[in-house]
Amino acid sequence: MVKAIVGANWGDEGKGKITDMCAAESDIVVRFQGGSNAGHTIINDKGKFALHQLPSGVFHEDTLNIIANGVALNIEYLMKEIDIIKSAGIKFKLLISERAQVLLPHHVLLDEYEEERLGDKKFGSTKSGIAPFFADKYSKVGIQLWELYHKERLKERLKGMYEKINVQFKYLYNKPEIDYNEVYETLCGYAEIIKDNVADTAKILRDAVKEGKNILLEGQLGALKDTDHGIYPYVTSSSTLAGFAAVGAGIPPYAIENVTVITKAYSSAVGEGPFVSEVFGDEADQLRKKGGDSGEFGATTGRPRRVGWFDAVATRYGCEVQGATEVVMTCLDVLSYLDEIKVCTGYEFDGKEYKDFLTTENLYNAKPVYTTLEGWKTDIRGIESFDRLPQKAKEYVEFVENEIGVKISMVSNGPRRDEVLVR
Ligand code: GDP
């Protein structure tokens, strides 16, 4: 069975924890998009880990982990991540697609220089080089991993690439030029280190599909950060949708039978862009402090996350574009302190109430329409079955389920792997 675990919202929905949990029953866990620009937080018996590029299956010794062709491969960061996991005594199997493209030093620099140049109009980039990376990939000047093993060709391509980039660095940004020979040497060093991990992973995955293996496709960020369907241009540069997993991993689209979409019991987002149900001031500070497992701060960037009430309009849309077959709601425990809980059930815009998600500028002008529910005002961590939750907590979940139109199959009431209530 092939299952995708993806986000309904702006990312940080708690996909890592659910993936880690499902990874126990998976033969293969695959990262199919994104790069080192976001991360999952995983808490298990081995400790607390922030994974950025490594698939969440690394905590299960028998699981094969694949970084597929759709990922922006930052080899330097990957090696650091591998070291951290290995030094915690964890053994794992990892393969990297020979068709994955390699993130290069100028991608990170371009991200930085461009945000500097844009000033107030910046996108809130994580400055991991992701947007310049995908620009190069789709203008066909990027480097696929297999090219690292064709040295002469690699040198020629880098030479050509940096001729153009250096003009941009010098004249547009007024920054030092890059010596392509240095990049070449670095890449040759990396090639040697990772050579045993490089494989035709798409072929391995297609065979695994045919053999009926359990494959988990692990998404990064969420539907509202998708390049096409998200809050463009405040989106990421690769598709965050389950449908893209077929391309990003190289498997048939019809193979993906289960699309498990993760959403939080409230909203959180990092970076710029419209956020209709956002809250501010003390209300936000309180929610931010209670949120996640130790407050709402980005796993990769450490940036304080923007927070708000659950947005049923955005989440229903997120579930639809993901093609959700089931939904998991995380962080229900976080709302336990509230007397009343609001849910955004409509957008008021131009004198009308909308139930559908809008394009970016209209979202900026939309006001949230809230339905207020009663809180349960009691700590729900430690409760081990959905039925034992306070009535008001169950009603909250049922209300949201009704709004988004997809079954909520699991609710999570704490950051640990075992804190999940199956319905
Ligand atoms: P991801 O990118 O979707 O994997 O999300 P992150 O891991 O970055 O963010 C989710 C945060 O919520 C992490 O700090 C998790 O440890 C934490 N978390 C996940 N599920 C729960 C839950 O049910 N309750 C609480 N309190 N925290 C949770």
CA 293 to ligand 1 center in whole angstroms: 6
CA 12 to ligand 1 center in whole angstroms: 7
CATH architecture designation of domain 101-194 = Orthogonal Bundle (1.10)
pLDDT at residue 298 in the model = 67
Mutate to test the pocket of ligand 1, among 331, 332, 337, 421 (most ligand atoms within 8 A of CB): 331
pLDDT at residue 300 in the model = 62
Of 68, 124, 70, 360, nearest to 238 (Cα)?
A: 70
Specify the domain boundaries for CATH 3.90.170.10 within the chain: 264-422
Domain 2-98+197-260 has CATH 3.40.440.10: yes
- How many residues would you count in the chain? 423
Q: Which residues pair with 411 in a beta bridge?
A: 329, 421
Task: Identify the burial level of 372 via C-beta atoms within 10 angstroms of its C-beta, where 0-12 means exposed, 13-18 middle and 19 or more buried.
Answer: exposed
**Stretches in the chain below the pLDDT threshold 70:** 123-125, 294, 298-301
Quote the CA–CA distance of 88 and 110 in Å, as a whole number. Answer: 34
Mutate to test the pocket of ligand 1, among 17, 216, 329 (most ligand atoms within 8 A of CB): 17
Quote the CA–CA distance of 13 and 291 in Å, as a whole number. Answer: 11
Which 8-state DSSP code applies to residue 253? G
Residues annotated as catalytic are: 12, 40
pLDDT at residue 38 in the model = 72
Alpha helices (H) along 211-302: 245-249, 281-290
Distance of CA 388 to CAs 18, 374, 383, 393, 411, Å? Answer: 21, 18, 7, 10, 12
Of 238, 257, 199, 403, nearest to 318 (Cα)?
A: 403
Q: Which residues contact ligand 1 via a Cβ below 6 A?
A: 7, 11-17, 39-41, 43, 292-293, 299, 330-331, 333-334, 412-415, 419
CA 292 to ligand 1 center in whole angstroms: 5
Ligand 1: nearest atom to the Cα of 298:
8
Compute, in degrees rounded to 10, the torsion defined by CA atoms 39, 44, 49, 54: -60
Mutate to test the pocket of ligand 1, among 293, 338, 413 (most ligand atoms within 8 A of CB): 293
Return the beta strands (E) in 288-418 as ranges: 306-308, 310-311, 326-330, 340-349, 352-354, 367-374, 408-412
Lookup: tokens for 141? 């000047």
pLDDT at residue 123 in the model = 67
Buried b or exposed e, range 317-343, using 16+ CB within 10 angstroms: bbbbbbebbbbbbbbbbbbbebeebbb
Specify the domain boundaries for CATH 1.10.300.10 within the chain: 101-194
User: Domain spanning 264-422: which superfamily?
Assistant: Adenylosuccinate Synthetase, subunit A, domain 3 (3.90.170.10)
The H-or-E segment that residue 81 falls in is: helix 75-87
Specify the domain boundaries for CATH 3.40.440.10 within the chain: 2-98+197-260
State how far Cα 90 lies from the chain centre.
Answer: 23
Quote the CA–CA distance of 39 and 219 in Å, as a whole number. Answer: 10
